[in-house]
């Protein structure tokens, strides 16, 4: 099972920008900042959180990295023989493990502090969904669902006013139907859609 996709993607973008493209810090300087849990450079942490593209906002620079990671990860997992005579199937969901994993993960280049939760499922990192639900789902649709036969969880959080009444439910149904028609996982393939 894969977890923390957005944390990884956003971190790789940060290293790419800070070290290689904009040359704000050397690799070793950036490493030292992370080892200090961002205490050496809070200003840089905030720049990274606000300035660079993040997964889940339909920004190709970040989403293409996500696709590359997703494709490589699924290729490593899918079809490999397991100890029970079957094969492994790739899944991308973290449930609550992201808290446990985060507690054991050092500070990351995306601006995440040591011990904070990793990004959940295939959602954006906390607070990084800047362009709305449609942009988020467009990012998710770039991930080929057929390469994740054990399923993924695409978290969508909407304010209750967005789905209020008949018009709100029509809009929600349209969003969901479009997502599925464009290649998103369908409930009959992997499970259930939960609406609170």
pLDDT in tens, 102-147: 999 999 999 999 999 999 999 999 999 999 999 999 999 999 999 9
Burial state string for 41-77 with b = 16 or more CB within 10 A and e = fewer than 16: beebbebbbeebbbbbbbbeebbebbbebbeebbeeb
pLDDT, residue 1, reads: 76
Weakest-pLDDT range from 68-77, 92-101, 129-138, 185-194: 185-194
Locate 84 and state its tokens. Answer: 């029970």
Q: What is the DSSP string of 80-96?
A: -B-TTSSB----B--TT
- The yes-or-no verdict on residue 195 having pLDDT over 70 is no
d(CA 103, CA 63): 26
Residue 141, φ and ψ in degrees, nearest 5: -65, -15
What is the pTM (predicted TM-score) of this model?
0.90
Residue 54 or 186, more confident: 54
pLDDT, residue 193, reads: 53
pLDDT, residue 3, reads: 87
Distinct helix (H) and strand (E) counts, the chain:
8, 0
Helices (H), 78-147: 97-103, 132-141
Helix, strand, coil share (%) of the chain residues, nearest 5: 50, 5, 45
Weakest-pLDDT range from 75-89, 127-141, 176-190: 176-190
pLDDT, residue 189, reads: 54
pLDDT in tens, 5-54: 999 999 999 999 999 999 999 999 999 999 999 999 999 999 999 999 99
């Amino acid at each position: 099972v894969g977890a923390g996709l957005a944390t990884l993607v956003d971190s790789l973008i940060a290293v790419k920008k800070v070290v290689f493209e904009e040359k704000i810090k050397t690799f070793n300087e950036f490493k030292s900042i992370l080892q200090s849990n961002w205490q050496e450079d809070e200003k840089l942490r905030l720049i990274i959180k606000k300035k660079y593209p993040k997964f889940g906002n339909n920004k190709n620079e970040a989403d293409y990295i996500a696709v590359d990671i997703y494709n490589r990860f699924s290729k490593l997992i899918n079809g490999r023989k397991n100890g029970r005579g079957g094969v492994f199937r790739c899944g991308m969901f973290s449930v609550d493990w992201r808290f446990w994993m985060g507690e054991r993960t050092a500070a990351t280049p995306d601006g995440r502090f040591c011990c904070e939760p990793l990004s959940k499922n295939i959602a954006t990192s906390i607070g990084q969904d800047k362009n709305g639900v449609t942009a988020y789902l467009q990012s998710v649709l770039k991930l080929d669902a057929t390469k994740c036969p054990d399923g993924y969880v695409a978290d969508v959080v909407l304010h209750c006013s967005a789905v209020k009444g008949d018009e709100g439910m029509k809009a929600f149904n349209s969003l969901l139907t479009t997502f599925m028609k464009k290649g998103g996982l369908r409930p009959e393939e992997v499970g259930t859609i939960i609406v609170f």
